[in-house]
């Protein structure tokens, strides 16, 4: 499935939030960001990742997997930088696959839509969602529709979606939380 452009941007910046491809070259900076707030990331991911014992070597394996998925055009993963330091990450998948990465059966939706989820330290969730949607709304991507994926353990992200007019919602109850995606109304203007 050719859902990604042939050439992906090496860098995108919006309002002081910078996106660069997540590669093994960012190992130490990414590891520091991941280990900085384990409870936040576990609430966001809905998993027991990362554990307090998570090592840089394990993180390297994750980064190699993300880099391989991007090269194979399976997923798109960008580090999010503030002031040149890694402070978060975004993950983009075809809509159906985004749900499967959470071990959930996806709601039925048009082919070509994508879901993005992400996390960021030191800036409000609304800034991350806004910058991410600006980045992925660029003509180079030509996604039919962008959905922000989160869960009910991340109320700031849900509020950010509401503030940005992402009011169309599809949700699925997981084992311990409600997973949802939000998008601009289909006949509305995103951002």
Residue 6 domain-assigned (yes or no) = no
Report pLDDT for 188. Answer: 57
Give 142-189 pLDDT, tens digit per residue: 999 999 999 999 999 999 999 999 999 999 888 899 999 999 998 755
Residue 7 domain-assigned (yes or no) = no
Give 16-38 pLDDT, tens digit per residue: 999 999 999 999 999 999 999 99
Residue 157 domain-assigned (yes or no) = yes
Strands 178-183 and 17-21: unpaired
Give residue 96's pLDDT band: very low, low, confident or very high (50, 70, 90): confident
Report pLDDT for 106. Answer: 66
Residue partners of 65: CB distance under 8 A and separation at least 6? none
Domain that holds residue 154: 12-183
Residue 191 domain-assigned (yes or no) = no
Task: Round the average pLDDT of the chain to a whole number and report it.
Answer: 92
Report pLDDT for 41. Answer: 97
Residue partners of 138: CB distance under 8 A and separation at least 6? 9, 12
CATH number for 26: 3.40.630.30
Report the predicted TM-score, pTM, of the whole model to 2 decimal places. 0.92
Helices (H), strands (E): how many in the chain?
A: 6, 8
CA distances from 123 to 17, 44, 69, 81 (A): 9, 15, 28, 11
Residue 69 domain-assigned (yes or no) = yes
In whole angstroms, give the CA distance from residue 51 to residue 104: 22
Q: How many domains, the chain?
A: 1
């Amino acid at each position: 499935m050719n859902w990604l452009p042939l050439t992906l941007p090496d860098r995108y910046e919006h309002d002081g939030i910078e996106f660069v491809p997540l590669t093994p070259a960012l190992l130490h900076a990414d590891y520091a960001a991941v280990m900085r707030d384990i409870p936040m990331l576990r609430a966001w991911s809905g998993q027991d990742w990362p554990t307090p014992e998570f090592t840089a070597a394990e993180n390297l394996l994750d980064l190699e997997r993300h880099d391989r998925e991007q090269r194979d055009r399976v997923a798109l993963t960008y580090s999010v930088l503030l002031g040149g330091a890694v402070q978060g990450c975004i993950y983009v998948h075809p809509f159906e696959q985004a749900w499967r990465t959470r071990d959930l059966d996806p709601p039925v939706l048009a082919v070509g839509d994508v879901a993005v989820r992400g996390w960021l330290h030191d800036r409000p969730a609304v800034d991350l969602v806004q910058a991410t949607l600006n980045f992925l709304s660029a003509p180079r991507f030509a996604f039919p529709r962008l959905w922000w994926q989160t869960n009910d353990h991340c109320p700031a992200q849900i509020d950010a979606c509401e503030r940005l007019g992402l009011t169309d919602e599809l949700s699925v109850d997981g084992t311990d939380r409600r997973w949802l995606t939000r998008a601009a109304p289909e006949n509305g203007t995103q951002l």
